[in-house]
A and B are shown apart, each in its own frame.
Chain A
Amino acid sequence: MTSARDDVLSNIRRSLGVTGHEAPRIAAVDERLARAAPGVVPARGQLDPAARLALFRAQAEAVQASLAVAASAKDVPAEIARYLRDNNLPATLRMGADPRLAAMDWGATTLAVTRGPSAGDDLNAVSHAFAGAAETGTLVLVSGTDNPTTLNFLPDNHIVVLRAADIDGDYESVWTRLRATFGKGLMPRAVNMITGPSRSGDIEQKLLLGAHGPRRLHIVIVGD
């Protein structure tokens, strides 16, 4: 008996009228995979850094994220403490092992910080973004000990720190950045593109925030 794999592939080849050994077809596929050429990239994101930050902000706010700018990394803990206080949220915060977050002086705030992935009982968490895409106000986070994926989805309030210098205009620039970090064709287990807080329109098409993921998404941009 032939395997399902062989059957499916040979059915495809029979329908296409090919053998799978045609050199030009193989070359076309290899070339496309190797080159990973961009297609149509929206002009919207092709901006200088200041305008790109402004576009990111406008797009993120349009999808109900809130956003604050911290002049430098050392101002981030105070900004997060302020955010939680202003929203009447408890002064607790879970985070991973990201060295950029670890280097911040959390002791200068009253926040009770816990570390590691979430088991589902955390109200607030902070992650450090890998990059941002200004065209849609999208955050890009990668999995690992630095920023555990569970922090993106289980807490009610997700705070994400993003360096202004890591804001790209478009998704294609983010892929270039990913390949530079992880290698061509290689990926971390999860890359999470996040555009606003969780929502659902499944009941009578009414848009409601906080479906299964975070009810609030707060972005802290770090300048230089």
Chain B
Amino acid sequence: MSALPTSENFKANAHAALGDAQLQKALGHVRVNFIERRASAAAGLPEFEALRDSARDIKNHTLAHLDLYLEAYEKNVTASGGRVHFARDAKEACALIVDICKAEGARNVTKGKSMVSEEIGLNAAIEAAGMAAVETDLGEYIIQLRGEAPSHIIAPAVHLNKEQVEADFRRVHTALPEGRNLDAPESLLAEARGILREKFLDADVGVTGANFLVAETGTSIIVTNEGNGDLTQTLPRAHIVIASIEKIVPTLEDASQILRVLARSATGQDMSVYTTLSTGPRRASDPDGPRAYHVVLLDNGRSAMLGTEFEDMLRCIRCGACMNHCPVYHAVGGHAYGWVYPGPMGAVLTPSLIGVDKGGHLPNASTFCGRCESVCPVRIPLPKMMRHWREREFERHLSPASVRYGIGVWAFFAKRPALYRLAAGIAMGALGLLGSARGRFRKLPLAGGWTDHRDMPAPQGRTFQSQWKAKGGRTR
């Protein structure tokens, strides 16, 4: 389900997350596993960096010609017997999908994992129309049972421990014997497999997202490890693909370039288990597959990002690497971001999609360490874009007064280099004296939000500018 945004409350959300021992334990898995796995997968392919360039260039080319590729894609879907529907916003997309489900006489709708479905709040819309919507990705299934939003774009239940999953299964799967053993992740998986197998076989309509839409062939591509997306789209009478407009790539060759960086960046696999290319409904001679194939193409604010400083964000392939490598995400998890998309990509995308008034605090959730950009497979300059948002937020006077004042003071000095050097030197000396005993500050006035949960390194001696000068650098 897609909860209403609480991104305005990022500070309070983050504070609660930092005090949540259970969450902090679960986040430990992100810090270790994802980073190591990506690093070794990237190191294992000599062409990895060249492929990142290639992926970036393909996305840029496609975005610059998006109108034409969408038309080509639509033509080819139609030629293969499928139907394409455009949706300006979330409400329109939900209405289109609900209408298709109703026309199919559907009672049960299965779902493959889709962030766009979360973005538009599709499950709530299907349920409001009197049909059941069942998430089938294991992580999505678990958070649906809990009434939660995903906390990570590729690992939706990464904030949970197995004891919590066991408690949820016991609460919901009441037809199963009470005394059964669910201690191990293996037994939890086996139970979910059994329950969801029935749901797959009962489904009337299956809804999946898409990692790519191929203009050349009118094909939608999903990438999964569990196989749930394939059962979702193969067994029911109708398959509906919900995808945003920037998922288009020109050709199968272009999709292959990006596939080679997607799984490596996301889970550290060379290739995910199932990469499935779907083109239209069941053919006359086919013994299985859906009889109807629909694609709902969602805009929801994306066309307005083209041609702006946020256009680069539309290259995003939702791999999750930026959040896996983000110290802020490691500290607070995904829910603190308050909407569907967490981490650095969420901090940039959320204000674009739900408005700077609601999502404008998120770009502050950054230390500007730059790790997100250094691992992004399509080389999105995430820190720069977060800065763009901060500037916009500042201009709109939406920043808290203390922040506005701080930046104002900095700007005043930054424009006056001599004064800046003097002021920085004084501050440095003062801070150095105060902090020299331990080399770190446990508390710093006006920076409580920072020092409550980490130490601020004490300045070591001289200002950057004086060191630069001493090492032969030039100052004005």
Contact = CB atoms under 8 A, between A and B. Distances in A.
B307 A150 contact: no
Nearest to A2: B88
B161 interface: yes
Given A16-B66, A40-B51, A144 B286 contact: yes
A116 B287 contact: yes
Contacts of B142: 202-203
B306 interface: yes
Name the residue in A18, A149, A152 with the highest tally of chain B Cβ atoms < 10 Å from its Cβ.
Answer: A149
Interface of A: 3-5, 7-9, 11-13, 15-18, 20, 25-26, 28-29, 32-33, 36-44, 59, 63, 96, 116-117, 119-120, 135-136, 138, 143-145, 148-150, 152-154, 170-172, 175, 178, 185-206, 208, 210-214
Interface string B41-55: 000011100110010
A216 to B, nearest CB: 13
A120 B50 CA distance: 43
A17 B311 CA distance: 14
B124 interface: no
11 contacts: A16-B66, A36-B253, A40-B51, A138-B271, A143-B289, A149-B288, A153-B231, A178-B252, A187-B80, A192-B277, A203-B165
Contact of A63 (B67, B273, B303): B273
B146 interface: no
Contacts of B251: 32-33, 36-37
Contacts of A32: 61, 250-251
Task: Please indicate which of the listed interface residues A96, A194, A205 has the most CB atoms of chain B within 10 Å of its own CB.
Answer: A205
Interface in B130-147: 136-139, 142
Given A203-B188, A205-B29, A212-B226, A25 B65 contact: yes
Contacts of A7: 86, 88
A50 to B, nearest CB: 22
A189 B29 CA distance: 39
B12 to A, nearest CB: 28
Contact of B67 (A13, A28, A143, A192): A13
A154 B231 contact: yes
B321 to A, nearest CB: 15
Contacts of B304: 11, 15
B231 A213 contact: yes
Nearest to A187: B279
Contacts of A15: 303-308
Contacts of B193: 210-212
Nearest to B308: A15
Given A4-B88, A43-B47, A206-B185, A37 B253 contact: yes
B254 A12 contact: no
B435 interface: no
A212 B227 contact: yes
A152 B234 CA distance: 10
B264 to A, nearest CB: 10
B326 interface: no
Interface of B: 26, 29-30, 33, 45-47, 50-51, 54, 58, 61, 64-72, 76, 80, 85-88, 92, 136-139, 142, 155-158, 160-162, 165, 185-186, 188-189, 193, 196-197, 200-201, 215-219, 225-228, 230-231, 234-235, 245, 250-254, 256-257, 259-260, 267, 269-283, 285-289, 297, 299, 303-308
A4 to B, nearest CB: 4
B306 A16 contact: yes
A202 to B, nearest CB: 4
Contact of A200 (B88, B226, B245): B226
Given A4-B87, A42-B45, A211 B231 contact: no
Contacts of B216: 33, 36, 185
Contact of B155 (A20, A205, A213): A205
B278 A12 contact: no
B288 A202 contact: no
Contacts of A18: 67
B257 A40 contact: yes
Contact of B217 (A3, A152, A186): A186
Contacts of A150: 234-235, 288
A33 B250 contact: yes
A59 B162 contact: no
Contacts of A13: 67
A163 B284 CA distance: 28
Contacts of B273: 63, 194-199, 213
Contacts of A117: 287-288
Contacts of B308: 15
A9 B86 CA distance: 9
A153 to B, nearest CB: 5
7 smallest CB-CB distances across A and B, nearest first, come from A213-B227, A211-B226, A202-B139, A15-B306, A11-B303, A193-B275, A187-B279
Given A204-B161, A213-B230, A185 B285 contact: no
A206 B29 CA distance: 10
Contacts of B280: 189
A178 B276 CA distance: 14
A145 B30 CA distance: 43
A189 B289 contact: yes
Contacts of B186: 208
A145 B285 contact: yes
Given A9-B67, A63-B271, A187-B219, 20 more contacts: A4-B85, A8-B70, A39-B54, A42-B260, A59-B270, A96-B287, A120-B197, A170-B256, A171-B259, A172-B256, A187-B80, A187-B279, A196-B273, A199-B225, A201-B155, A202-B155, A202-B157, A211-B189, A211-B225, A211-B228
Q: Which of B250, B252, B280 has the most CB of A within 10 A?
A: B252
A200 B225 contact: yes
> Which residue among B65, B92, B162, B282 has the maximum number of chain A CB atoms within 10 Å of its CB?
B65
Contacts of B136: 212
A153 B227 contact: yes
Nearest to A170: B256
Contact of B245 (A12, A16, A136, A149): A12
Given A204-B185, A213-B227, A190 B234 contact: yes
